[in-house]
Amino acid sequence: MIKIQMKTPLVEMDGDEMTRILWKMIKDELILPFVDLKTEYYDLGLLNRNATKDRVTVESAEATKRLGVAVKCATITPNKQRMEEYPELTEMWKSPNGTIRSIVGGTIFRTPVVIDSIKPVVKNWEKPITIARHGYGDVYRAVDMYTTEPGVATLTFKGESGEEKTLEVQKVKGPAVWQAAHNLESSIRGFAKSCFQYAIDTKQDLWFSTKDTIAKVYDGEFKKVFEEEFVNYKAKFDELGITYFYTLIDDAVARVIRSKGGYIWACKNYDGDVMSDMVSTAFGSLAMMTSVLVSPEGVYEFEAAHGTVTKHYYKHLKGEETSTNSVATIFAWVGALRKRGELDNLPELVEYANKLEQATFDTLNDGIMTKDLAGMVEEGYTATAVSSEGFIKAIRERLEKKIG
Ligand code: NAP
Ligand code: MG
């Protein structure tokens, strides 16, 4: 068989534990037999991050900016317990995702993978809801303090030109708590651009919500920047028949619950943190969630939203059978190969990625799934729980039929 050719390499970021095992199985069974895979390989496994003093993470992020598309395996973020588990670690290395996000920038889009046999808790949700979470500032970069006596707090900005602006926050008669938060116009603009671009890429409506009736200047700035940026995307939105819609966060929550799904909901940092957990839980499982970081310059990093599934890895090491869900990791590869195909104008590569995605859905719709899902199917559907390998083999059979 002639394999599908690639032009530009993908940035491949390998990872840890059970997801590293799945990573190899996915490549060997589902990709390498069909695609003449070109990647620039970075081993983000914990021991190699340690051996390279975490240079490898920085280099993989820089390669992502240079080549435009990356696919990342889940990785361990070391904590105290991991330092004991891996005594060779010379430092408690920072979260690779955090490092990559700070170099690449942009917005994280998370979308549940929906199948007929597993219904979301919200019965009227027919299509996935994608949460676009702003990744900078607000309460996550705020300062706060506690005071004990009567007094007054002010907020002062000192410009480099010498200009000063002061506001009175509040006069208090007793103990009080205080907080000062900020955001950057450039970051808000990048957030807006990523959201409009992602709506165009996925041909979905974009909703955006804040509380600008209360935070008139702060949230008002978000609303204004989105309106300003939308001017540059409106013609493309009209051409695709998609819409941009702004509403208050409380109105958005009510509309989301009553909706059929099938749109992107852009949220400020805190709202996105909370709402993405709500939406993913209501749809079922973290193992059925895709995640992509999109920078305002149009750089893409695809990953799974879950971790390295440590408990399953230790079973695997003992030679026991595992039933670990590889859907999110397969879909990270699908997303990356499809995007590479689109950017390099390789329709065969796009078609292959679509077939791999469809073969995965066909397998699930045939009731072949890993244990985490098999226990969740609705009455009237049958499900057979298979092993990690069994699931990937079942996808392989269906993929081969599609490719012919
Ligand atoms: P986790 O790996 O997501 O696993 C938590 C539990 O969720 C698992 O024990 C398993 O439950 C279930 N689960 C998650 N993914 C699954 C899958 N694909 N198939 C089947 N079940 C799945 O989270 P964690 O145990 O909190 O973290 C483990 C390591 O991952 C940590 O070192 C953390 O730093 C890292 N992490 C990495 C990322 C990332 O790179 N994006 C994200 C989060 C965490 P059962 O055991 O009940 O089957
Ligand atoms: Mg959270």
Task: Give the pLDDT confidence of 212-239 residue by residue, as tens digits.
Answer: 999 999 999 999 999 999 999 999 999 9
Cα 7 to ligand 2 centroid, rounded to whole Å: 38
3-state secondary structure of 191: helix
Residue 80 backbone dihedrals phi, psi, to 5 degrees: -55, -45
**CB of 48 closer than 6 angstroms to any ligand 1 atom:** no
Cα 273 to ligand 2 centroid, rounded to whole Å: 5
- Closest Cα to atom 3 of ligand 1: 307
Task: Please identify every stretch of the chain with a pLDDT value under 50, giving residue numbers as ranges.
Answer: none
Give tens-digit pLDDT for 98-135. Answer: 889 888 888 999 999 989 999 899 999 999 999 999 98
**CB of 308 closer than 6 angstroms to any ligand 1 atom:** yes
Give the global pTM: 0.89
Under 8 Å CB-to-CB from 274, ≥6 apart: which residues? none
Q: Are 133 and 191 in contact (CB under 8 A)?
A: no
**CB of 100 closer than 6 angstroms to any ligand 1 atom:** no
Taking the C-alpha atoms of residue 153 and residue 157, their distance in angstroms, rounded to an integer, is 14
Residue 324 Cα: closest atom of ligand 1: 19
- Closest Cα to atom 43 of ligand 1: 307
Point out the ligand nearest to the CA of residue 140: 2
Cα 284 to ligand 2 centroid, rounded to whole Å: 16
Cα 309 to ligand 1 centroid, rounded to whole Å: 4
Point out the ligand nearest to the CA of residue 45: 1
Q: How many CA atoms lie less than 13 Å away from 326 in the CB half-sphere? A: 33
Which CATH superfamily, name and number, covers 1-113+294-404? Isopropylmalate Dehydrogenase (3.40.718.10)
Domain residue extents for the chain: 1-113+294-404, 119-136+182-283, 143-180
Cα 310 to ligand 1 centroid, rounded to whole Å: 6
- Closest Cα to atom 40 of ligand 1: 74
Point out the ligand nearest to the CA of residue 280: 2
Cα 306 to ligand 1 centroid, rounded to whole Å: 5
Please return the burial class of 270, using the count of CB atoms within 10 Å of its CB with bins 0-12, 13-18 and 19+. middle
Beta strands 289-294 and 107-112 are antiparallel
**CB of 77 closer than 6 angstroms to any ligand 1 atom:** yes
Q: Contacts from 257-262 at CB under 8 Å and sequence distance 24+?
A: 257/122, 258/124, 259/124, 259/125, 259/129, 260/124, 260/125, 260/126, 260/127, 261/125, 261/126, 261/127, 261/128, 261/129, 262/126, 262/127, 262/128, 262/129, 262/204, 262/205
**CB of 220 closer than 6 angstroms to any ligand 1 atom:** no
Residue 221 backbone dihedrals phi, psi, to 5 degrees: -65, -40
Cα 274 to ligand 2 centroid, rounded to whole Å: 6
Q: Which of 44, 85, 289, 309 to mutate to test the pocket of ligand 1 (most atoms within 8 A of CB)?
A: 309
**CB of 22 closer than 6 angstroms to any ligand 1 atom:** no
